[in-house]
Amino acid sequence: MVARKKEELAIDAVLLAGRLMMQCGAETYRVADTMRYMAESQQLFEPNSFVTPTGIIFTSGRPSQTKLVSVGDRANDLGKVARVNDVSRKLTSGEWTIDRAYEELVSIDLDPPSLPFYLKAISSAIASASFFILFDGSIGQIGYAALAGGFSYIISEWLEAYSKVRFIGQFLGALFAAVFAYFITSNGATGDLDALIVAGVMPLVPGVLITNAVRDLMSGHFVSGVSKGAEAVLTSFAIGAGVALVLSI
Amino acid sequence: MLVKACISFIAATGFGVIFNAPLQLLIFCGFAGMTGWTVSTWTRMYVIDDLMLSSFIGAFAVSIIAHLFARRFKTPMITFSIAGIIPLVPGTVAYNAMRHVVESDYTMAIQLGSQAFLISGSVAMGLVFAEVIMQMVFRSKIHIPMR
């Protein structure tokens, strides 16, 4: 009976770790590998998993022990990926028991995002300003680039949380950046419209998705690779549409 | 060039924050980004003036350095590689393609669009190639000192 309970806990821990990593934007093959290592360290000797961006099926290879967990609300949080990775490393090396690991995983799940929102908004402003310089914008306009980048990020995140549709947020964020750049440059300030727009939409670029989509395809996880690729393409189209709308006026 | 390299460092660090990278590793995210940008720009300036090839080489460098950092800090490699490839994303090309679509200049738009597509493809290929090579190197038991 105790053994059965322990097995149950191990499976739950494995699934929780998998779900956390998938939500926070880890590569699919890494999720599958981590789950396998964790399972094997807990004497579940024939673990099999099927990992997709929207759900994970895991079986320990024995009867009556197949579980499914769905992956909701994805948000990129590489800090949490690193923490889950750390838990799995400690668990497999025998440093931690399964109970300790499960507690830690639950606390990772409950924690807010690793970095506060205002910090991300500020850093997206800084990143936009730097990109503005990299795209040969004039130094005098750098403040506008920071404003465009910061606010397009804030708008897209807010709308995403509000409307539950990712692409609306990105579309309106890009729209804002383009409108802003358009007005700045048409007001007589000698701005560089192109550089300003590109730098402004830079914080919306789906970098994690693009990287992961290719990596997943290469490692043979075609379901996740194609779906992440589709998401990346849709995001880029949303950004492009937002910019194009302003340019066409 | 040197100033711009520093700026690409800042940009990549900023992206590290946006993607919630662990705080103590942010500097290394920035370093990966700077490597990628510097290598690709250097390639474009002095070796071959081709955006696709230089992006490939830049992504290759990012992936190698991300792999080394990942081994040293025992952290997933993705932490470094994502912030690293952001400066290589063909933003300007994609934007120009979009602008030509809006101006109904479809020939140019398709040309630029496929260029943007190929550049992002080569960035991805650079990442994957370097990873495969690093895995081969580490499997052949060449010892690189770790902490």
In tens, the pLDDT along A93-108 reads 888 888 889 999 999 9
pLDDT digits (tens, 9 = 90+) for A119-174: 889 999 998 988 888 888 778 788 888 998 999 999 988 888 888 788 888 899 99
Instruction: Tell me the C-alpha distance between A25 and A206, whole Å.
Output: 11
Instruction: Tell me the C-alpha distance between A163 and A209, whole Å.
Output: 21
* Average of per-residue pLDDT values in chain B: 85
From the centroid of its chain, how far is CA A120? 14
Chain B: closest CA distance from residue A63 (Å): 33
pLDDT digits (tens, 9 = 90+) for A163-174: 878 888 889 999
* Average of per-residue pLDDT values in chain A: 86
**In this complex, is the C-beta atom of A133 within 8 Å of any C-beta atom belonging to chain B?**
yes
CB contact under 8 A, B78 and A76: no
SS3 content of chain A, % helix, strand, coil (to 5): 70, 5, 20
Q: Report the pLDDT value the prediction gives residue B114, as an integer from 0 to 100.
A: 92
Chain B: closest CA distance from residue A78 (Å): 5
Instruction: Tell me the C-alpha distance between A79 and A77, whole Å.
Output: 5
Entry pTM: 0.84
HEC sequence for chain B: CHHHHHHHHHHHHHHHHHCCCCHHHHHHHHHHHHHHHHHHHHHHHHHCCCHHHHHHHHHHHHHHHHHHHHHHHCCCCHHHHHHHHHHHCCHHHHHHHHHHHHCCCHHHHHHHHHHHHHHHHHHHHHHHHHHHHHHHHHHCCCCCCCC
From the centroid of its chain, how far is CA A197? 23
Q: What is the mean pLDDT of residues B73-86?
A: 85
Q: Which residues of A touch B98 (CB under 8 A)?
A: 240, 243-244, 247
Q: How far is CA B11 from CA A127, A134, B20, in A?
A: 4, 9, 14
Q: Is residue A215 within 8 Å of residue B127, measured between CB atoms?
A: yes
Q: What is the mean pLDDT of residues A33-43?
A: 87
- As to burial, measured by CB atoms within 10 angstroms (0-12 exposed, 13-18 middle, 19+ buried), residue B146 is exposed
- What count of CB pairs under 8 Å joins A to B? 147
Confidence class for position B146, pLDDT limits 50, 70, 90: very low
Q: Is residue B88 within 8 Å of residue B123, measured between CB atoms?
A: yes
Q: What is the mean pLDDT of residues B41-61?
A: 89
